[in-house]
Chains A and B, each alone.
Chain A
Amino acid sequence: MTKRLTKIVALVLCLVMCASVFAACGEDKKTTTTKKDDGPVEQYVYKQAQYNTTTSVMPSNWNELTYRDGNDTQILSYIGSSFFDYDYKFENDKKYNEDGSINVDGIVEGAYTTNYSAAAKLEDVTALVDAKWGYTEEQKAEGGYAWKITLRDDLKWHDGTPITAEDFEYSMMQTLDPMFMNYRANTYYDTLMIKNAKTYFYSAAPIYSPIVPAYGDGETPDYSFDMENNEVYMSSTASDMTLASYTLAWLVDYWGDPAGYDALEAVDEASNEFGYMLITDETIDLAYNLLRYALKPFGMDLDSYDEATQKELLMETLYYVSGHGEPVAWENVGMYAVEGENAIVVCLDKQYHLLNDDGSLNYQAAYYMSGLPLVKEDLYESCKIAPAEGATLWTSNYNSSLNTTASWGPYVLTEFEAGSHFVLEKNPNWYGWNMDEYKNQYNVTTIHTRKVEEFNTKWMGFLAGTYDDASLAEENIDEYLDSKYVHYSITSGTYGMQLYSNLQVLKASGNNNGILAIREFRQAFNLGLNRSAVIENVWPGTTAPCFGLMSPAYYYDIENSPTLADGGQYRNSPIAKAGILRAYGYVEAADGTWSINDMTGLTLDEAYETLTGYNPTLAKQMLNEAIAILEADPEKYGYDSTEDITLVYGSSSDTAKQRDRAAYLQTVLDELAAGTKLEGKIKIVFDASAGSQWAEAFRSGATQIGFGYGFQGNVFNPFDIVGAFVNPDDALNYHMYWDTSEIDLTLTMPAGDYEGAGETITMSVQNWYFCLNGLAETEDQDYTYNWDANNAPNEARLTILSALEELVIKESYSIMLISDAGGSFLGAKFSYISDIQNVFMGFGGLRYLVVNYTDAEWTAYVESMNGDLSSEYKKTE
Chain B
Amino acid sequence: MDMKNINNIPLEKLRLANRSDTSHDKKLETKPLTYMQDAFRRFCKNKGAVVGGIVISFLVLFALLAPLFTPFQPIYNDQTYAFAAPKNKIFYNLGIDFWDGCREKEGVGYVAYLKDLALGLETGREVIKDGEVEIDENGNYNYRYDTYYGVGFGKYKIISKEEYEAIQAYQNETGRQVLYPIVKYSDRPTQEKNKYDANIYYVTENPKAQTIRPKLDKDGNIQVNYWKYEEGEKSGLRADYNSLRIEGEDGVQENGKTYYYAYGRKVDGGIEVRTEYYEYYIYQHTQVKKDGITEPVFWFGTTSTGKDIFACLSYGARFSFVFAIIVAVVNLVVGVIWGSISGYYGGKIDLAMERFCEILGSVPTMIVITLLKYHMGTTSQVIVLLIAFFATGWIGMAGRTRMQFYRFKNQEYVLTARTLGARDRRIMFKHIFPNAIGTLVTSCALVIPSMIYSETSLSYLGIINLESGNTTSVGTLIAAGQQSLMKDGSAYITFFPCAFLVLLMLSFNLFGNGLRDAFNPSLRGTEG
- Report if A and B associate in a common complex: yes
Nearest-neighbour CB distance to chain A for B269, whole angstroms, equals 4
Q: In the assembled complex, which residues on chain B have CB atoms less than 8 Å from the CB atom of A459?
A: 486
Q: In the assembled complex, which residues on chain A have CB atoms less than 8 Å from the CB atom of B157?
A: 532-533
A655 to B373, CA, bound (A): 13
Contact pick for B110, options A460, A542, A615, A877, CB 8 Å: A877
Nearest-neighbour CB distance to chain B for A812, whole angstroms, equals 16
Contacts A532-B155, A532-B156, A596-B268; A545 near B196 (Cβ below 8 A): yes
Cβ of B109 under 8 Å from chain A: yes
**Are B378 and A687 in contact, CB atoms less than 8 angstroms apart?**
yes
- The digit string for B145-159, where 1 denotes a CB below 8 A from any CB of A, is 000000000111110
- The digit string for A107-126, where 1 denotes a CB below 8 A from any CB of B, is 00000000000000000000
- The digit string for A533-572, where 1 denotes a CB below 8 A from any CB of B, is 1011100101111000000100000000000000000000
Within 8 A of A (CB), among B464-494: 465, 467-469, 476, 480, 483-488
**Are A689 and B468 in contact, CB atoms less than 8 angstroms apart?**
no
**Are B485 and A614 in contact, CB atoms less than 8 angstroms apart?**
no
Contact pick for B484, options A474, A653, A688, CB 8 Å: A474
Q: In the assembled complex, which residues on chain A have CB atoms less than 8 Å from the CB atom of B211?
A: 481-484, 486, 876
**Are A536 and B79 in contact, CB atoms less than 8 angstroms apart?**
yes
A455 to B483, CA, bound (A): 8
A736 to B477, CA, bound (A): 42
Q: Which residue of B lies closest to A540 (CB)?
A: B79
**Are A616 and B140 in contact, CB atoms less than 8 angstroms apart?**
no
A684 to B469, CA, bound (A): 13
Contacts A535-B196, A536-B79, A686-B378; A599 near B237 (Cβ below 8 A): yes
Nearest-neighbour CB distance to chain A for B276, whole angstroms, equals 15
Q: In the assembled complex, which residues on chain B have CB atoms less than 8 Å from the CB atom of A656?
A: 305, 465, 467-468, 476, 480
Contact pick for B377, options A488, A585, A689, CB 8 Å: A689
A613 to B268, CA, bound (A): 7
Q: Which residue of A lies closest to B147 (CB)?
A: A478
Q: In the assembled complex, which residues on chain B have CB atoms less than 8 Å from the CB atom of A530?
A: 158, 269
Cβ of B106 under 8 Å from chain A: yes
Q: In the assembled complex, which residues on chain B have CB atoms less than 8 Å from the CB atom of A527?
A: 269
**Are B195 and A874 in contact, CB atoms less than 8 angstroms apart?**
no
**Are A877 and B111 in contact, CB atoms less than 8 angstroms apart?**
yes
- The digit string for B99-129, where 1 denotes a CB below 8 A from any CB of A, is 0000001111111100100000000000000
A877 to B374, CA, bound (A): 52
Q: In the assembled complex, which residues on chain B have CB atoms less than 8 Å from the CB atom of A584?
A: 268
A488 to B138, CA, bound (A): 26
Cβ of B185 under 8 Å from chain A: yes
Q: In the assembled complex, which residues on chain A have CB atoms less than 8 Å from the CB atom of B469?
A: 659, 663
Contacts A535-B196, A544-B196, A616-B269; A691 near B374 (Cβ below 8 A): yes
A611 to B267, CA, bound (A): 6
Cβ of B244 under 8 Å from chain A: no
Cβ of A487 under 8 Å from chain B: yes
Q: In the assembled complex, which residues on chain A have CB atoms less than 8 Å from the CB atom of B484?
A: 474-475
A540 to B78, CA, bound (A): 11
**Are A482 and B236 in contact, CB atoms less than 8 angstroms apart?**
no
**Are B485 and A456 in contact, CB atoms less than 8 angstroms apart?**
yes
**Are B268 and A610 in contact, CB atoms less than 8 angstroms apart?**
yes
Cβ of A602 under 8 Å from chain B: yes
Cβ of B192 under 8 Å from chain A: yes
Nearest-neighbour CB distance to chain A for B147, whole angstroms, equals 9
**Are B112 and A481 in contact, CB atoms less than 8 angstroms apart?**
yes
A484 to B112, CA, bound (A): 11
Q: Which residue of A lies closest to B191 (CB)?
A: A488
**Are A456 and B486 in contact, CB atoms less than 8 angstroms apart?**
yes
**Are A606 and B112 in contact, CB atoms less than 8 angstroms apart?**
no
**Are B270 and A616 in contact, CB atoms less than 8 angstroms apart?**
yes
Contact pick for A532, options B158, B193, B210, B378, CB 8 Å: B158
Q: In the assembled complex, which residues on chain B have CB atoms less than 8 Å from the CB atom of A687?
A: 377-378
Contact pick for B487, options A475, A532, A689, CB 8 Å: A475
Cβ of B75 under 8 Å from chain A: yes
| Majority secondary structure, A binding face | mixed
**Are A482 and B111 in contact, CB atoms less than 8 angstroms apart?**
yes
A875 to B113, CA, bound (A): 11
Cβ of A77 under 8 Å from chain B: no
**Are B305 and A585 in contact, CB atoms less than 8 angstroms apart?**
no
Within 8 A of B (CB), among A839-877: 870-872, 874-877
Q: From B80, B108, B115, name the one whose CB has the most chain A CB atoms within 10 angstroms.
A: B108
A459 to B483, CA, bound (A): 11
**Are A614 and B109 in contact, CB atoms less than 8 angstroms apart?**
no
**Are B109 and A877 in contact, CB atoms less than 8 angstroms apart?**
yes
**Are B236 and A599 in contact, CB atoms less than 8 angstroms apart?**
yes
Contacts A540-B82, A689-B373, A871-B107; A602 near B378 (Cβ below 8 A): no
Contact pick for B269, options A615, A819, A877, CB 8 Å: A615
A358 to B110, CA, bound (A): 52
A487 to B75, CA, bound (A): 35
Contact pick for B155, options A474, A536, A585, CB 8 Å: A536
Q: Which residue of B lies closest to A606 (CB)?
A: B237
Q: Which residue of B lies closest to A611 (CB)?
A: B268
**Are B193 and A609 in contact, CB atoms less than 8 angstroms apart?**
no
Cβ of B462 under 8 Å from chain A: yes
**Are A657 and B305 in contact, CB atoms less than 8 angstroms apart?**
yes
Within 8 A of B (CB), among A580-636: 584-586, 596-602, 606, 609-618
Nearest-neighbour CB distance to chain B for A708, whole angstroms, equals 16
Q: In the assembled complex, which residues on chain A have CB atoms less than 8 Å from the CB atom of B468?
A: 656, 659, 686
Cβ of B304 under 8 Å from chain A: yes
- The digit string for A691-707, where 1 denotes a CB below 8 A from any CB of B, is 10000000000000000
Q: In the assembled complex, which residues on chain A have CB atoms less than 8 Å from the CB atom of B144?
A: none
Cβ of A142 under 8 Å from chain B: no
Q: In the assembled complex, which residues on chain B have CB atoms less than 8 Å from the CB atom of A759?
A: none
**Are A479 and B488 in contact, CB atoms less than 8 angstroms apart?**
yes
Cβ of B455 under 8 Å from chain A: no
**Are A874 and B140 in contact, CB atoms less than 8 angstroms apart?**
yes
Nearest-neighbour CB distance to chain A for B465, whole angstroms, equals 5
A685 to B376, CA, bound (A): 13
Q: In the assembled complex, which residues on chain A have CB atoms less than 8 Å from the CB atom of B465?
A: 654-656, 659
Contact pick for A654, options B83, B305, B373, CB 8 Å: B373
Cβ of B517 under 8 Å from chain A: no
Cβ of A490 under 8 Å from chain B: yes
Q: In the assembled complex, which residues on chain A have CB atoms less than 8 Å from the CB atom of B236?
A: 599-602
Q: In the assembled complex, which residues on chain B have CB atoms less than 8 Å from the CB atom of A601?
A: 236
Q: Which residue of A lies closest to B213 (CB)?
A: A876
Cβ of B381 under 8 Å from chain A: yes
Cβ of B266 under 8 Å from chain A: yes
Cβ of A476 under 8 Å from chain B: yes
A12 to B352, CA, bound (A): 28
Q: In the assembled complex, which residues on chain A have CB atoms less than 8 Å from the CB atom of B388?
A: none
Q: From A597, A870, A876, name the one whose CB has the most chain B CB atoms within 10 angstroms.
A: A876
Contact pick for A544, options B185, B186, B192, B486, CB 8 Å: B192
Q: In the assembled complex, which residues on chain B have CB atoms less than 8 Å from the CB atom of A686?
A: 378, 468
Q: In the assembled complex, which residues on chain A have CB atoms less than 8 Å from the CB atom of B160?
A: 616-617
Q: In the assembled complex, which residues on chain B have CB atoms less than 8 Å from the CB atom of A602?
A: 236-237
- The digit string for B177-199, where 1 denotes a CB below 8 A from any CB of A, is 00000000110000111011000
A687 to B374, CA, bound (A): 10
**Are B381 and A654 in contact, CB atoms less than 8 angstroms apart?**
yes
**Are A482 and B109 in contact, CB atoms less than 8 angstroms apart?**
yes
Q: In the assembled complex, which residues on chain B have CB atoms less than 8 Å from the CB atom of A600?
A: 236
- 12 A-B pairs with CB atoms under 8 Å apart are A481-B211, A482-B212, A532-B158, A533-B158, A544-B196, A585-B268, A612-B267, A615-B268, A660-B305, A687-B377, A875-B140, A876-B111
Chain A interface residues (CB < 8 Å from chain B):
455-456, 459-460, 474-476, 478-479, 481-484, 486-488, 490, 527, 530, 532-533, 535-537, 540, 542-545, 552, 584-586, 596-602, 606, 609-618, 653-657, 659-660, 663, 685-691, 819, 821, 835, 870-872, 874-877
A655-B462, A876-B110 given. 5 additional CB < 8 A pairs?
A479-B105, A614-B158, A616-B269, A871-B107, A876-B111
The 10 closest A-B pairs by CB, nearest first: A689-B377, A871-B107, A876-B109, A876-B111, A614-B269, A544-B192, A656-B467, A615-B269, A542-B193, A610-B267
